[in-house]
Structure 1
Amino acid sequence: MATPKRSPWFTLGMATPGAVLNVPVPNSLHTHSIGPPHSSLVTLRTLSAPLNPADINQIQGTYPTVPPFTSTLGTAQPTAVPGNEACFEVLAAGSGVKSVKKGDWVIAKYTGLGTWRTHLQVEEEKVQRVEKEGLRSEQVGTVGVNPVTAYRMLKDFVKLEEGDWWIQNGANSGVGRAAIQLGKRWGTNSIAVVRSRPGAEGEKLKKDLEDLGATKVVTDEEMQQKDFKDQVKEWTDGYSSPLKLALNCVGGDAAMAMAKPLSPGACMVTYGAMSKSPMRVGASMLIFKDLRFSGFWVSKWSDAHPEEKKRTVDELLEMMRTGAFRDTPMVEVRWDWGTERDVLVEAVQGTLEGFKKGKGVFVFGDT
């Protein structure tokens, strides 16, 4: 049967035994079995797998890539398993496997592996081993997208010297929190832009981000005031350092407001478009300020630089291991053999909602 390029029905896979949820409007669970691994195959048990917005966009058919469809999951029609990030435990390895052994923890080496399932069997080359000592599976399972995105954007687009300033919107996101901590660790100053929250909730968030290392925390409304540019100039002049970088996950007019105080020759890196509005770049920004507008897609970067990804992941995990990096707030969603379908469905459907208590993460029991 030919594999369709796109289908309104994707699957959240489970195996050995397991379940598959059809999405959108999930309405079933599917079970199937996995045989013993041979040659270069490894059998994995999923320990934890986050629910990222990009995973939902794939299901909706609005993302540039879709998971590969397969007829090997025992479904009547070819299906695809969403999820690009997870921590797995090796249950068994074929005779030709050299890099991992039973009991090791691994993560996906490339995107599109399909992680929302209890078990899977893949080629050894599709995963990479991580040192699990001193770490929780949720930390390992969420390291490859948000923290790596933050790390690479701070390192790869401009050379930030100690004391330099940079700004970001969506600062309470997983990427934003990671960037704040990394920027502080590397001696830079950050301006964290967040959506306005009422009363004590807003003050609590501001203190939380300042405790992480943000130099200044402002709301979207404050950033779009006419005097914000002058305020930034006052902050940065105190350090005699330019505002060299902006990290943008919102887009639209909010992104352009963030670009206005940037120093000549600075760069804005866009890695998301939460507002779903276009960015209208003024000619003066390009001609007179020589601003650069670039994009970053961690999936494409990771697939093109697997060895550099491994080095980045290892460095980030070492920070977590030593307590030098705080986890993003998480909402654990247990996925055990007896977990009801509606619990999983609700977790998936709530991923794109605003003002969440934390990142949703499937945490798997001994299935």
Structure 2
Amino acid sequence: MQAIRFLEFGKPEQVLRLQPLDLTPLAEGEVRLRMLAAPVNPADLNLIEGTYGVKPPLPAIPGIEGCGEVVESRSPEFQTGDRAIVLRRAGSWATHIQVSEDHLFKLPAGIDPLQGAMLKVNPATAWRLLTGFVQPSPGSWIVQNAANSAVGRCVIVLAKRLGLRTMNLVRRGELREELLGLGADEVLLDDDSAVESLKASGRERPMLAFNCVGGESALRLMNLLGPGGIHVTYGAMARRPLTVPNGLLIFKDLQFRGLWITQWIENAPREEIRKVYGELAEALVSGELSMPVDQVFPLEGFQSAIARVQEPGRNGKVLLAV
């Protein structure tokens, strides 16, 4: 097999190497996958840099999600030819991985492997944002920033399925028509005009806000929330902290929560995980849910893939395909 590895933390373009590795015999209950595709996520780059919330033992293989085909199995749940995604970090930037059966979710037939490779993180994050903190009544509003992100797009689609309406903040006005076509109810520029627009409309305030930016954008979501609203942070694209004015705590009694999908996967009952991923997988099969792909690179082109992830103006995910 071949795998992309790093022996020390640092800039990905400097510390990553594509290296040959030996395949080891499977233990009872383990499954070997030939990897088909794996996204290059910002969290992967943070892991390599050593700035992520956890640090793996070194040497390490990046890749927090991916889709593969079973080539060998010592589990009765998986047969040769089955396709599955990894639910735990398993070093998916490789030609092959071997993992416990408990760390896999078997995909239904008909899923594009590129879409399947992106199933673990973004759709599940969107689902948990919408269902894991409060149960909004049908017709009520939620608000989110970075609405053009992969999670943001999934939120729009899944909120529509749940009968919820979405107010979506974006940095570029040209994204408006595209997101409206996806099912967004309102698309606003992520600046102070969004707050003024809501005040002028006299419309009901959202009770749920999803923040993956931080800084002024996160504060804007606080100002858009209604009294007692819940502000959930699941990312920090701007790399700026949340600053919460005293008045928003005292007079609006806002609640502040966080979401790390890895923690939910590790702690949730197995049947709950299967149910959620089963519903999300069916939405992929039907075409109701789809995530844009910016560019696909071969494993040996990982340096180009990493460079592309860090370029502005991407339209979707960058993936490695074996």
Same topology, TM > 0.5 = yes
1:322 aligned partner: 286
State the alpha-carbon separation in 2 of the partners of residues 261 and 44 from structure 1: 46
State how many pairs are aligned: 316
State the alpha-carbon separation in 1 of the partners of residues 63 and 168 from structure 2: 29
Match of 2:103 among 94, 116, 126: 126
Unaligned runs of 5+ in 1: 1-14, 70-78, 197-201, 336-340
Match of 2:79 among 69, 86, 101: 101
Unaligned runs of 5+ in 2: 7-11
The alignment status of 1:32 with 2:12, answered yes or no, reads no
2:198 aligned partner: 232
Offset of residue 57 of structure 1: 0.4
Match of 2:249 among 272, 276, 286: 286
Percent identity of the aligned residues?
36
2:67 aligned partner: 87
Preserved contact between residue 129 and residue 232 of structure 2 (Cα < 8 Å): yes
1:199 aligned partner: none
State the alpha-carbon separation in 2 of the partners of residues 137 and 236 from structure 1: 45
Name whichever structure is richer in helix by fraction. 2
Query: Any idea what the Cα deviations from partners look like across 1:150-187, whole Å, max 9, x if unmatched?
Result: 11011111221111111111111100000011111212
Query: Any idea what the Cα deviations from partners look like across 1:199-226, whole Å, max 9, x if unmatched?
Result: xxx43x21110011111111123xx23x
In structure 2, give the amino acid aligned to 1:98: P
State the alpha-carbon separation in 2 of the partners of residues 38 and 297 from structure 1: 30
State the alpha-carbon separation in 1 of the partners of residues 102 and 49 from structure 2: 29
The alignment status of 1:113 with 2:90, answered yes or no, reads yes
2:179 aligned partner: 209
The alignment status of 1:44 with 2:10, answered yes or no, reads no
Change (3 A) 1:89 1:137: same
Offset of residue 357 of structure 1: 2.6
Match of 2:237 among 245, 261, 274: 274
1:12 aligned partner: none
Per mean C-alpha deviation after superposition, the further-off stretch among 97-106 and 353-362 is 353-362
Query: Any idea what the Cα deviations from partners look like across 1:135-164, whole Å, max 9, x if unmatched?
Result: 111111111100100110111112211111
Match of 2:160 among 154, 174, 184: 184
1:254 aligned partner: 217
Query: Any idea what the Cα deviations from partners look like across 1:59-111, whole Å, max 9, x if unmatched?
Result: 01100112343xxxxxxxxx1011110011110113xx21111111122232x
1:350 is paired with a residue of what secondary structure?
Answer: helix
Offset of residue 19 of structure 1: 4.0
2:51 aligned partner: 62
2:264 aligned partner: 301
State the alpha-carbon separation in 2 of the partners of residues 229 and 39 from structure 1: 57
Match of 1:147 among 114, 117, 123: 123
2:178 is paired with a residue of what secondary structure?
Answer: helix
Offset of residue 242 of structure 1: 3.5
Aligned-pair Cα RMSD in Å = 1.9
State the alpha-carbon separation in 1 of the partners of residues 62 and 70 from structure 2: 20
State the alpha-carbon separation in 2 of the partners of residues 301 and 87 from structure 1: 20
State the alpha-carbon separation in 1 of the partners of residues 277 and 171 from structure 2: 29
Offset of residue 306 of structure 1: 5.2
1:76 aligned partner: none
State the alpha-carbon separation in 2 of the partners of residues 106 and 306 from structure 1: 19
The alignment status of 1:349 with 2:302, answered yes or no, reads no
Larger radius of gyration: 1
Change (3 A) 1:27 1:187: closer
1:81 is paired with a residue of what secondary structure?
Answer: coil
1:193 aligned partner: 169
State the alpha-carbon separation in 2 of the partners of residues 59 and 46 from structure 1: 20
1:243 is paired with a residue of what secondary structure?
Answer: coil
Preserved contact between residue 143 and residue 210 of structure 2 (Cα < 8 Å): yes
Change (3 A) 1:151 1:28: closer
In structure 2, give the amino acid aligned to 1:101: Q
State the alpha-carbon separation in 1 of the partners of residues 258 and 98 from structure 2: 34
State the alpha-carbon separation in 2 of the partners of residues 193 and 354 from structure 1: 18
The alignment status of 1:264 with 2:230, answered yes or no, reads no
Change (3 A) 1:262 1:346: same
Preserved contact between residue 5 and residue 60 of structure 2 (Cα < 8 Å): no
Offset of residue 328 of structure 1: 2.7
TM-score (structure 2 length as normaliser)? 0.92
Offset of residue 123 of structure 1: 2.7
